[in-house]
Amino acid sequence: MALIVQKFGGTSVADIDRIKAVAQRVKTEVDAGNQVAVVVSAMAGVTNQLVGYVDAVSKLYDAREYDVVVSSGEQVTSGLLALELQTIGVPARSWQGWQIPIRTDNVHAKARIASIDTDNILPRLEQGEVVVVPGFQGVADDGRVTTLGRGGSDTSAVALAAALKAHRCDIYTDVDGVYTCDPRIVSKARKLDKITYEEMLEMASQGAKVLQTRAVEMAMNHGVRTEVRSSFTPDRGTLVVNEEEIVEKQIVSGIAYSRDEAKITLVRVADRPGVAAGIFGPLADASVNVDMIVQNVSADDQATDMTFTVAKSDLERTKSIIEANKDEIGYQSVIANDGVVKISIIGVGMRSHTGVAQTMFKTLADKGINIQVISTSEIKVSVLVAEEYTELAVRALHTAYGLDAD
């Protein structure tokens, strides 16, 4: 008998028929003698709808009330799945984040899990009851509902698996594993049997939607065996493993892209010590995540331009914070552009090969695509380009690095 955590994404529970199919998959594990905890996302499209309601009321919303609204989607799904499991003869009960409880910090809309108390749910699992948990949510010290940020249900599942010391965590989604690129854009993308934690972490952080970044971090830190699988086929998926388990490493394992990028340029920022802290300190205090950062060389030692990227959802908040601190920062004007996309090449093989970035730059140049910003890490190179070139750039790079399926 094994303790298994299963996580089902929005497309897997998109309607009642799919929820019934998920219940059958859960029942299969129960019938095999396993203890099962299930984490569910909101039904496909529901979270976007709820976020739309909030945005329609206020662009600069109170994050505490945002959490109240958007957390309701997962609550509905968890109740429906528990009801369906009961209908087909499987003992089941839904448990909201505050009932378990899943304790988080007080950063609403982007909360981080502090701890999960399993004392309430472990006895139920041992009695053969399926525990159904809404992903994406927890409870702060003051008792208010918090959410973990978009894609947080993956994090909920891996964190629950770690807390329960589960034998494995199966992440069910609408694809049958991790691909070298989004197969909806690149028809020749290949499914990977295995991928390293580091590569998966980079792919998730650079826009791949298969797994959420914090979920991969947590799986790596706690040794949670994780497999990405399809809800619609019985086939095995992609295992996320340690680098030592992959003998022959590809130079580039995958291409990722993110449309959730907004570029901000501060024109003629005072070129003096402390100016970067003056810009990014207030943003950090407001829990705005800054990604790519480029500072131009000052031509006169008096002023320079500072360019950085944030999530599109943080653009208005970022502009408001920057404008509120204009006197302290000292800049001439702000230019914002949300018509950009970040494209990344990722692979642990980069550590031992040269010329990888050059191939990327030449490929994009040959297609007439201008690079606006560049950033690198040990196993990743990212560029920011105009959004209209997304498909062209991704397909060209996929071919250039020999990732196309035969």
pLDDT in tens, 209-267: 788 888 999 999 998 989 999 988 888 899 888 877 776 677 899 999 999 999 999 99
pLDDT digits (tens, 9 = 90+) for 44-79: 999 999 999 999 999 889 999 999 999 999 999 999
**Residue 296 backbone phi and psi in degrees, to 5:** -70, 155
- Domains of the chain (ranges; CATH) run 3-174 (3.40.1160.10)
Mean predicted confidence (pLDDT) in 108-128: 95
Longest dimension (CA), the chain: 76
Per-residue pLDDT, 59: 85
Mean predicted confidence (pLDDT) in 139-154: 92
Percentages of the chain per state (helix, strand, coil), in multiples of 5: 40, 30, 35
Pairing of strands 303-310, 238-241: unpaired
Q: Give strand ranges (E) for 28-78.
A: 35-40
Per-residue pLDDT, 354: 86
Q: What angle do CA 148, 209, 203 make, to 5 degrees?
A: 100
Per-residue pLDDT, 46: 95
